[in-house]
Structure 1
Amino acid sequence: MHAMTISEFGGPRALVPVELPDPRPAAGQITIDTSHAAVGLVDALFRRGDLADRPGFPQPPFVPGLEVAGTVRELGEGVTGFEVGEPVVTLSQMSLGGYASVTPAEAAMTVSLKECDVDPAQAVAVLPNAVTAYLALTRVAHLREGESVLVHGAAGGLAAAFPAVARSLGASHITGTVTSGARIADTTHLDYDEILISDDFVKALDGRKVDVVVDPVGGAVRTASLDVLAPLGRILLLGHAARTPDTPVTGDELWSRSVGMLGFAVGPYLQTDPYAARPAAEHVIALLADGTLTQRVDELPLSEAAEAHRRLEAREVPGRIVLTI
């Protein structure tokens, strides 16, 4: 099979093309003839080695890629409910392997697209992040009908899934933040009630409080978010795109404000409870099929994976980058 591997930790040029044997599915797995592979910030973290010292995280050489779309190639032992040739999309799987013409995937982490007419590039760009949004809002933040939501990095690939999912769960008012006025145009297709500039969002809210903050950014906006939380408000920690570290927050600060900060990493979580994925997918796939969930997608061929990573880290792409295979 054709694949791009991370040969060593480093910059985008660490991604190099290779030919590898076609993988066979283990018990409980399927293999997928990959047509599209999503590119995410976590791929860049793996490539740079930012997560290399954590147990279970990959060491070079390895094939990156957590999310793919394509058609079922082969069923592993014990797999039912899928058939060869069926269109599918995977959720965020920590086994990686997506930057390749054939991808092994856990059947429990794979969603059929047979019953809905969805473009596979949109499916792989949107569905995994929408499942993340659903699980984060329901199982971690426990969003209640009528609550307000603030989403940082509103135009980013992960954040962009939250407005539609939060609205479907009954959120009353959804605010997004972006880094500059120029990025506001990148959010017009999303279901935000208002967009603020992240440097002065506290001032712009003018005393209004929010119930749930969705934060894949970290750094200064994470600390500032404490000042806009309503009593019993929650900050969802979903990543750290900022180039600056967090300011430490003490337990005393949280209890005195009656607020919480809750971390959620969907890949490791679904490794421990893969069957949580299916009900989440069933909720959000309907939003994808009717056009409520959508994303701006830039497509590049697999051979240009290094360029995709360069664009991602330069923040040149609103929405998501998808590799075509």
Structure 2
Amino acid sequence: MKAVLLDTEDHYGIAELDEPTPGPGQVAIRVAYAGIQWGDTMVRDGHFPVPRPFVPGFEATGHIVAVGEGIDPGRIGEPVAALTTAGACAEVAVAPAVLALGIGDMPLRTAAGLGWGAPTAYDLINTTSRVRPGESVLVHAAAGSVGTLAAQFARLAGAGRIVGVAGSAARADYAAQFGYDEVLLRGEFPAALGDEKFDVILDPVGGSTRQAGVEQLAAHGRLAAYGNLSTYEPVLANTNDLLMQGKSLMTYNSNLLSQTHPERLADSASRALGLVADGHVRVDITAEYDLTDVAIAVQRLADGSTQGKSILRVA
């Protein structure tokens, strides 16, 4: 089969490899599309230590072609959207069966827009921060795949005011399509907010943005951290101050959840998929690349020129 290989010098190439065989609890998928997500940039840049050469790709849609021990053979032929630990940028990939979700008659290309971003956004709103009707929500990286979905999930949860923060005017205009009441530029945060406080803040940025976010929380507000786009330097908080103001700092790690409680991640992914299928939530695929263009796709995500979701066409 054809597969992308990331080598020890951070270069991508196409290689011919043997097709993988599913192990116990796994399925093999003939990949139609692979999603591009922030984890791909982290692997390329060495923030996720993986053996090289490495077949990248953490999201796949396609049809199940083989099952491992303990998995119903009746799933062979089923169209699925799958979350993988690696290898989605190939003609055949393996994935945990529990994280290979049946998509029914949803087009494979549409389903490729969900990936890890959909359950992440769903959980940030509904499980981690538990947005309540009437609450205000601030979303950083508003134009990304998580941000565009989080705004929609927040609206469905009954949020009263939803504000996004984006890195450029073009990205702010794009994000505004997804239900934000206002979208600020990153350079305007937090000054443009004045005294406004938020019940929930979603922060994948880290650093000074996270520190400022704590100050922008209302009493009993929750800041959910789920990444470090700007820096890996630690952000320190005084827990006594948080206690006195009823503020909470929370974290969400979908990769860890896939290892410790994959059934929970699968449930959230399934709920998100259902909301897309019935038209309540929209995924927006803004760029489609050939398998040979994975380096371009990952770099455009890394440098901030990607809006919405990018995918690779595999088959």
Alpha-carbon separation, structure 2, partners of 1:149 and 1:127: 23
Q: Which residue of 2 aligns with 1:202?
A: 190
Q: Percent identity?
A: 31
Letter in 2 for 1:238: Y
Letter in 1 for 2:77: G
Alpha-carbon separation, structure 1, partners of 2:207 and 2:64: 41
Alpha-carbon separation, structure 2, partners of 1:183 and 1:305: 22
Q: Which residue of 2 aligns with 1:112?
A: 102
Alpha-carbon separation, structure 1, partners of 2:170 and 2:188: 15
Deviations 1:237-283 (A, max 9, x none): 11111257454333344234321211111011121001113331332
Contact (CA 8 Å) 2:121, 2:149: kept in 1 or not? yes
TM-score by length of 2: 0.92
Q: 2:41 aligns with which of 36, 44, 67?
A: 44
TM-score by length of 1: 0.90
Structure 1 position 62, deviation (Å): 1.4
Where 2:72 maps in the other structure, the secondary structure is: coil
Where 1:267 maps in the other structure, the secondary structure is: helix
Structure 1 position 139, deviation (Å): 2.8
Structure 1 residue 18 corresponds to structure 2 residue 15: yes
Cα-Cα RMSD: 1.9
Structure 1 position 201, deviation (Å): 3.0
Deviations 1:47-102 (A, max 9, x none): 111232xxxxx2212111111111111122211385222211013x3x21111110
Q: Which residue of 2 aligns with 1:320?
A: 309
Structure 1 position 9, deviation (Å): 5.0
What are the within-5 Å matches in structure 2 for residues 61-210 of structure 1? 61-80=53-72, 83-91=75-83, 93=84, 95-114=85-104, 116=105, 118-210=106-198
Alpha-carbon separation, structure 2, partners of 1:283 and 1:225: 29
Q: Which residue of 1 aligns with 2:8?
A: 8
Alpha-carbon separation, structure 1, partners of 2:32 and 2:241: 48
Q: Which residue of 2 aligns with 1:60?
A: 52
| Closer, same or farther: CA 224–284 of 1 in aligned 2, 3 Å | same
Aligned length: 313
Q: Which residue of 2 aligns with 1:55?
A: none
Contact (CA 8 Å) 1:173, 1:193: kept in 2 or not? yes
Poorly superposed stretches of 4+, deviation over 6 Å: none
Contact (CA 8 Å) 2:59, 2:115: kept in 1 or not? no
Where 2:5 maps in the other structure, the secondary structure is: strand
